[in-house]
Structure 1
């Protein structure tokens, strides 16, 4: 498997400086700052990028689980809400709430939920993050 890369550059001090980030192949580029991370300023932040990576990975893992069970999804849409809180150890990602909605013909809510939970446990990004953060899942089958 290939090794994935990303880069970031920061200029200045923590509160007044600014940075840019880029994924290895240039698919994502963005600015980040103290305000975009700790307040409501423009730009992105590491926690949003973790959320995007988790939502993307989970959607793929769930789609695979559904297809493996014989119910190929029309679509899976996932949002990740990353909780970034002050703890005794400092600022920490404490939890991620995954909210997923799937359009899946020929499946009932019980089987959908079972496969959604399995995908949460087996998603590579969930496995990376779960030792340090609680991962919650709300899975809804679209009608």
Structure 2
């Protein structure tokens, strides 16, 4: 295998590695969502069973008549709790996905820069292009994603 093929292989492996890591991150996010939904479903089943037990154990007409009103409040509280849990899960999931994405992007950047640097040293390249490759390898991934960061995390400099 000549050096050109080796460099192309290294770059292809970096790109495939980035794609595979991205797919793994999405799979992890999907599994976290499934776990959250499973927990919410389990809670709902337990609460429904408790309400059915109250219905079954009602000793008189008054306690039976009070069940719908109490069930309505419990249902409202349960829905609010479910939405809160979903919001917490969404924030946690998004944070984990972005952190993993930044790590995968940084790894891809390092591997691509290494492949380009090796290729650059193996063939005659103009000095300006060499400087560009060197500079690109030094740019932190955070600089790429900063415009999409929450406003409190963005730098104060105008874009």
TM-score bucket (shorter structure): 0.3 to 0.5
- TM-score between the two structures when normalised by the length of structure 2: 0.31
Report the structure, 1 or 2, having the larger helix content. Answer: 2
Query: Which structure ranks higher in relative contact order (CA pairs < 8 Å, sequence separation ≥ 6)?
Result: 2
Report the structure, 1 or 2, having the larger strand content. Answer: 1
- TM-score between the two structures when normalised by the length of structure 1: 0.33
